[in-house]
């Protein structure tokens, strides 16, 4: 059974396109220069679909930001960045700041903030679509590691996930382009 918030794929696609635009504006407000996020497509995975086929990159090294949410909609959102894309994103958005370059945890802090902004906007738009109230957890960041731990949680940690919404986006800052993958696990409240 499909959650009512995601039952109309046409409307859901428009909602996620709006989220891409809103999240670009939110990042732009933080970094103070133009950021563009292009919505490249989505896939709705139900419990009968093999998530490994829809997310072939989840077992590759990289970084992930995870935020759980609960209330009228329950689940978790994951911002998935492949190895190299994670550092490029952090550098493109923030690391020209000399203070951040000296910090050992700069990439983790930056990815946490970026993931927090992006996931809050995407999940928030989803919950607003259904007029649902939710609360978010503090972001967890898995930086530059083999993604086995979080991939196992994504696949097995929300058993059974009723649906997983996979969003593919492209973030552009000047000449730099980065692929953003977002997975939102939706369980029934």
Sequence-ordered list of residues with C-beta below 8 angstroms from that of 152, at least 6 positions apart, any chain: none
Please tell me whether residue 121 adopts helix, strand or coil conformation. helix
Residue spans per domain, the chain: 4-187
| Contact call for residues 20 and 79 (beta carbons, < 8 A) | no
DSSP 132: -
The pLDDT tens digits for 120-166 are 999 999 988 888 889 999 998 877 655 555 556 665 554 455 678 88
Mean pLDDT over residues 106-114, rounded?
A: 85
- Fold classification of 4-187 (topology level): Chemotaxis protein chec (3.40.1550)
| Contact call for residues 107 and 94 (beta carbons, < 8 A) | no
The pLDDT tens digits for 26-58 are 999 888 889 999 999 998 877 655 555 556 566
Angle at alpha carbon of residue 186, lines to 38 and 80, rounded to 5°: 45
Q: Look at 112 and 94; give whichever has higher pLDDT.
A: 112
140-145 and 176-187 as β-strands: parallel, antiparallel, unpaired?
unpaired
Sequence-ordered list of residues with C-beta below 8 angstroms from that of 44, at least 6 positions apart, any chain: 2, 6, 9, 12, 163, 164, 165, 166
The pTM for the full model equals 0.85
Residue among 64, 56, 80 at smallest CA distance from 171: 80
Buried b (16+ CB within 10 A) or exposed e, 152-182: ebbbeebeebbbbbbbebebebeeeebebbb
| Contact call for residues 183 and 164 (beta carbons, < 8 A) | yes
The pLDDT tens digits for 63-99 are 889 999 998 888 899 998 888 888 788 877 775 655 5
The pLDDT score that the predictor gives to residue 16 is 93
The tokens describing 29, both together, are 């407000």
62-71 and 134-136 as β-strands: parallel, antiparallel, unpaired?
antiparallel
């Amino acid at each position: 059974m499909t959650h009512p918030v995601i039952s109309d794929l046409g409307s859901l696609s428009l909602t996620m396109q709006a989220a891409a635009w809103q999240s670009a504006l939110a990042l732009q407000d933080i970094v103070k220069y133009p950021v563009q996020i292009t919505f490249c497509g989505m896939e709705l995975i139900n419990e009968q679909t093999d998530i490994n086929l829809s997310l072939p990159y989840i077992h590759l090294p990289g970084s992930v930001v995870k935020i759980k949410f609960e209330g009228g909609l329950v689940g978790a959102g994951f911002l998935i960045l492949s190895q190299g894309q994670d550092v490029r994103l952090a550098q493109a958005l923030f690391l020209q700041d000399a203070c951040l370059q000296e910090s050992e945890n700069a990439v983790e802090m930056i990815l946490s903030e970026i993931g927090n902004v992006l996931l809050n906007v995407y999940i928030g738009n989803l919950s607003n679509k259904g007029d649902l109230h939710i609360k978010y957890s503090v972001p967890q960041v898995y930086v530059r590691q083999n993604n086995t731990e979080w991939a196992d949680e994504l696949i097995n940690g929300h058993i059974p996930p009723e649906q997983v919404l996979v969003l593919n986006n492209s973030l552009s800052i000047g000449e730099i382009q980065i692929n953003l993958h977002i997975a939102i696990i939706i369980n029934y409240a």
